[in-house]
Structure 1
Amino acid sequence: GLPDDQIQKGKDMKSISEIVQDGNKFKVTVTTGSKVLSNEFTIGEECEMELLTGEKAKTVVNMEGNNKLVANLKGLKSVTELNGDTITH
């Protein structure tokens, strides 16, 4: 895991997320300060994602219901819920 100070730093950071969906393909761009992360994936297929730490990790993103993107990255479960123009992590 990450040290507690890095976890808190991550919680305090403000970010802007943009998600573009084309069928089962997604492009997610997250801008946090001056850092821009862009990951592309297809639901149910293995992909490599760049993390905020700069590390790369292989994962499979699945869709739960009609609006939840779920991935396991390095032992952490990431759930992103899409509700219209609102994204909840």
Structure 2
Amino acid sequence: MAFSGKYEFESDKNYDEFMKRLGLPSDAIEKGRNFKIVTEVQQDGQNFTWSQHYPGGHSMTNKFTIGKECDMETMGGKKFKATVHMEGGKIEVEFPNYRQTSEIVGDKLVEVSVCWFLGR
């Protein structure tokens, strides 16, 4: 499935709970609630450039090849190593505190993030 394209944020579910579990302070959660993030994906076979553009001109870009370890960065700026996998048309990557799965549904990019830990 081709991921290349530009996708504008439309909606989220359980935003507050997810951000609290990641340890973000309430003022940061409130600020981020109304962000209209634009995700831009460039795919060349198994090679990806995945960029997220935030209000105010801040951007974050991760480049990776499916199945190969790479350097990545969280939206908070934390750098880590990960291996991105693709299964059944879905891209999966394990961030330090959560797993993110991304897929194309119709003409939309659907991203689901699940925390590794409960409580907090």
TM-score (norm 2): 0.65
Q: Does 1:41 align with 2:64?
A: yes
**How far apart, CA to CA, are the structure 2 residues paired with 1:36 and 1:29?**
7
**How far apart, CA to CA, are the structure 1 residues paired with 2:106 and 2:44?**
15
Q: CA RMSD in A?
A: 1.8
Equivalent in 75, 83, 86 of residue 105 of structure 2: 83
**In structure 2, what residue type is equivalent to 1:32?**
Y
Q: Does 1:31 align with 2:57?
A: no
CA 4–81 in structure 1, closer or farther in 2 if over 3 Å, else same: farther
**In structure 2, what residue type is equivalent to 1:2?**
G
CA 77–11 in structure 1, closer or farther in 2 if over 3 Å, else same: farther
Superposed displacement of residue 9, structure 1? 4.5
Q: Find runs of 4+ consecutive structure 1 residues off by over 3 angstroms.
A: 6-12
Gaps of 5+ in 1: none
Of residues 17-26 and 3-12 in structure 1, the stretch that sits farther from structure 2 once superposed is 3-12
CA 13–63 in structure 1, closer or farther in 2 if over 3 Å, else same: same
Q: Which has the higher helix share?
A: 2
After superposition, what is the alpha-carbon deviation per residue over 1:9-36, rounded to whole angstroms, capped at 9, x for unaligned? 4454220001111111011111011211
Q: Which has the higher strand share?
A: 1
Equivalent in 41, 47, 55 of residue 19 of structure 1: 41
Equivalent residues, number:
88
SS of the residue 1:44 aligns to: coil
SS of the residue 1:2 aligns to: coil
Gaps of 5+ in 2: 1-21, 112-120
TM-score (norm 1): 0.84
**In structure 2, what residue type is equivalent to 1:56?**
K
Superposed displacement of residue 72, structure 1? 0.4
